[in-house]
Amino acid sequence: MAISTLIRLWFLADAKDKAFIRALQSLLGFYPRNISLYKLAFSHRSLALETTGGNRLSNERLEYLGDAVLGAVVADLLFKKYPFKDEGFLTEMRSRIVSREHLKHLAVKIGIDEMLQKDAGPGTYRSMYGDAFEAFIGAIYLDRGYAITQHYLLSRIIRPHVDLGEIESTEKNFKSVILNWSQRERKSVVFETVEEDPRARLITVRLMLDGKQVALGSDHVKKKAEQVAAERACRELGLL
C-alpha cells in the first residue's frame, strides 16, 4: 500500500479509529494496512454480530488461522535452536509455549486484554485473551504475510517475553493438577497399571475418572507413565 494511500486513510478515519490505529502501531511496530482485520481480531464472540446469512462475526476464524501460523513459527524456532533434541522434546516445548495459559500471559503482557472488545467478565471465558492473541497473529498474517508475522513473533514476542531456558527446565506436575481439580470437583481419580511389557520395559497406566477411563500413559518408570496419563487427561478436560 502506497504512503499516500495510508495518509489518505488516516485523514478519513474518525477519532476512535485513529486511537485504535495508534494503539496498533505501538503494538505492532509498523503501520497496519487492513484495519478491519485487527478490529475483527479483537472482537470476542460475546459481542458477535449476526450477518444476513445467519453467520456470526467474531475473531474465531482468525484464531484458527493464527494458531496454525504461531505453531509453525514456534516449531521452526525450536527445530533450529535444539538440533539434537528428539520429536517428543520439541513437541512438549511447543505445547508449553502455545498453551492457553502461556498465551494468556503474553496477551496481558503486551496489552491485548485492554484492546479486546467483549461483553463478558474475565472469568466467563477462560481462554479469551489467549484466543485473542492467536486471532491477532492471524490478522498480521493476512495483512502482511508469513515473513513479517514470523519476524514480529520472534523480535517482539518470543525474544523479549519468552524464556526458553525456564520453560525447558520447568517440569509441570500434571498429576497434582488433576488431583487438585478432582478434589475441588468431588471426582474420584484412580491410576491403574494396565500392562507391563518386560521386553520393552514399558509400563502403561490408565487414569480412571469416576470409574471411566479418560487417558492412557506409557513410560519406563511408573511415576512418569502416570504423569503422561495425567497430562493427557488435563488436556482432555481443558485444564491446561
Helices 60-81 and 128-144: angle between axes, nearest 10 degrees:
80
Q: In the 8-state DSSP scheme, what is residue 96?
A: H
* Helix count and strand count (H, E) for the chain: 13, 5
Sequence-ordered list of residues with C-beta below 8 angstroms from that of 58, at least 6 positions apart, any chain: 40, 43, 44, 45, 47, 48
Grid-cell match 496454525, residue found:
68
Side chain identity at residue 77, one-letter code: L
Residues annotated as part of the active site: 67, 134
d(CA 31, CA 54): 33
